[in-house]
Amino acid sequence: MYDAIIVGSGPAGSHAAYLLVKMGYQVLLIEGRKTPKQSINCSGIIGLEAFREFDLWEVPILNRINKFKFISPGGKSFIYQSDSDLALAVDRSGFDSYLTRRAISAGASFLDESWVRKILTDENEVKVCIQAKGRSFELRAKVGVIAVGYGSSLLKMVGLKSPPRYIEAVQAEVYGSGFDHTEVYLGNKVAPGSFAWLIPLGDERGLVGLTTEKDSFQHLQFLSHKLQAEKDISRVTNLQHSTIPLGIIPKAITRRILVVGEAAGQVKTTTNGGIYYGMIGAEIASQVLNKAFQQNRFDEEIFHEYDQLWRAKLAPEIQLGLKLREIYSLLSDSRIDMLFNIVSMDGLLPIIKKNLNFDWHKGLISSLISNPLIRRLLSVKLQG
Ligand SMILES: Cc1cc2nc3c(=O)[nH]c(=O)nc-3n(C[C@H](O)[C@H](O)[C@H](O)COP(=O)(O)OP(=O)(O)OC[C@H]3O[C@@H](n4cnc5c(N)ncnc54)[C@H](O)[C@@H]3O)c2cc1C
């Protein structure tokens, strides 16, 4: 019997496996897809804080992110340039492979092309039913960590709920020239209630994508035409569609089970980035599991600390991001244009520079909201 079976080798699952194995536990990491994963729908932008905190320096970097051009619906723009790198763009498949290899090198057992079809728990163990290469079998552990991303039926199977809402995310690779820095497009034609992006990856390659509540393909089509008219784009390829959770699950624990990463809603609701928050979730889960193993107790009460700690760290950001989205989604294109005027003309860029943190947005949101013009434009009070 394993100490822990972790289902899903995304950043949250592989990181949890690595941490638990380093603590001396016997861990099995199970992944449904073939590894290395061929293609993952993700832009791979990860803040520097995650690199420092989780020692990710061996991951191959595609680009350094320190300059953003924001473009309004009416074509107004401003550039935000940071004095140092804010984030790094990685090849997401390579990133996942690195994290999985790191867990395996530390001593984790690993199965890929193995789908977990069922998870059953009782007082003594967790049993996972696996389907792999035409055969079915069962494996057992003291605890199970569900790290399957958004939209899996495994949560329901163990009596837990999925995140309450989601947003659609579409992205494609573009080839051409003129991709100098990251561009962020706002407006109801490109991405109602959200934003679209063009991220240069070097070698005349980039990623174009957007998140929005519905009709994401139509909006991407609109954006692609707009970009093709403005830039020298020779090819748009590898179009992918996914959903990203908006909001957290009411409970991420049950007897012998913890849920980490996107499956728990550990995702920034401002930018929809989930890699860093999911890895934070994995860190907290592994610390609480360590205590549980030491006490040989795997009931809900001992796991309660996990639910408390990760919520205390991530929920205020996630909730504020949701509130901001709600308000922003009510803005007409002309109001978004007015917002651009305020930001570029009212000396707000230094304030943004001072308060911008790639992963934690409460400080920046509070400082912007304290500007009377922005407050009036949004006609609301955002509470921390
Ligand atoms: C277009 C787009 C762009 C994005 N850009 C960024 C970005 O730039 N930065 C960022 O931080 N985030 C970004 N995200 C979000 C990010 O991709 C996710 O939040 C992140 O992958 C979540 O990590 P995870 O480990 O929780 O889950 P996942 O990465 O989804 O990993 C879950 C794994 O579990 C496996 N699995 C699922 N079910 C089973 C099963 N039953 N049995 C076995 N295996 C199973 C899956 O195959 C998968 O490999 C983006 C998302 C999209 C859609």
Looking at the structure, tell me whether residues 228 and 357 fall in a common domain.
no
**pLDDT at position 33 over 90:** yes
Q: Tell which atom from ligand 1 comes closest to the C-alpha of 152.
A: 38
pLDDT at 370: 83
Q: Tell which atom from ligand 1 comes closest to the C-alpha of 12.
A: 25
pLDDT, tens digit (0-9, with 9 covering 90-100), for 194-251: 999 999 998 899 999 999 999 999 999 999 999 988 888 989 999 999 999 999 999 9
Looking at the structure, tell me whether residues 48 and 26 fall in a common domain.
yes
Please give the distance, rounded to the nearest whole angstrom, from the Cα atom of residue 148 to the centre of ligand 1: 8
Looking at the structure, tell me whether residues 79 and 145 fall in a common domain.
no
Rounded CA-CA distance 11/274 in Å is 9
Rounded CA-CA distance 146/204 in Å is 38
Q: Is residue 383 part of a domain?
A: no
- Ligand 1 atom 19: the closest Cα is on which residue? 274
pLDDT averaged over every residue in the chain: 94
Rounded CA-CA distance 9/109 in Å is 12
Looking at the structure, tell me whether residues 177 and 214 fall in a common domain.
yes
Which one is predicted more confidently, 381 or 308?
308
At 275, which CATH number?
Answer: 3.50.50.60
- Ligand 1 atom 52: the closest Cα is on which residue? 42
User: Any residues with Cβ below 6 Å from ligand 1, and which?
Assistant: 7-13, 30-33, 41-46, 115-116, 147-149, 152, 154, 169, 171, 209, 242, 244, 261-262, 267, 272-276, 278
**pLDDT at position 384 over 50:** no
Domain boundary among 220, 245, 270: 245
pLDDT at 133: 87
Domain boundary among 245, 270, 293: 245
Rounded CA-CA distance 177/204 in Å is 5
**Mean pLDDT value of segment 154-160:** 97
Structure-token pair, residue 369: 């909201």
What pLDDT band is residue 8 in, cutting at 50, 70 and 90?
A: very high
Q: Tell which atom from ligand 1 comes closest to the C-alpha of 11.
A: 25
**pLDDT at position 16 over 80:** yes
pLDDT, tens digit (0-9, with 9 covering 90-100), for 256-275: 999 999 999 999 999 999 99
Q: Tell which atom from ligand 1 comes closest to the C-alpha of 240.
A: 1
pLDDT, tens digit (0-9, with 9 covering 90-100), for 334-373: 999 999 998 887 678 888 888 889 999 988 888 888 888 8
- The share of the chain scoring above pLDDT 90, in percent, equals 84
Please give the distance, rounded to the nearest whole angstrom, from the Cα atom of residue 159 to the centre of ligand 1: 22
Looking at the structure, tell me whether residues 229 and 261 fall in a common domain.
no
Please give the distance, rounded to the nearest whole angstrom, from the Cα atom of residue 177 to the centre of ligand 1: 29
Q: Please give the residue range of the domain that contains residue 30.
A: 2-56+90-164+247-315
**Among all chains, which residue has been given the structure tokens 């009782």?**
122
Rounded CA-CA distance 169/214 in Å is 9
Q: Is residue 27 part of a domain?
A: yes
pLDDT, tens digit (0-9, with 9 covering 90-100), for 81-125: 998 999 999 999 999 999 999 999 999 999 999 999 999 999 999
Please give the distance, rounded to the nearest whole angstrom, from the Cα atom of residue 278 to the centre of ligand 1: 9
SS3 of residue 71 by DSSP: strand
Q: Tell which atom from ligand 1 comes closest to the C-alpha of 170.
A: 1
pLDDT at 202: 87
**pLDDT at position 39 over 50:** yes
Number of domains in the chain: 3
Rounded CA-CA distance 377/375 in Å is 5
Looking at the structure, tell me whether residues 194 and 50 fall in a common domain.
no
pLDDT at 55: 96
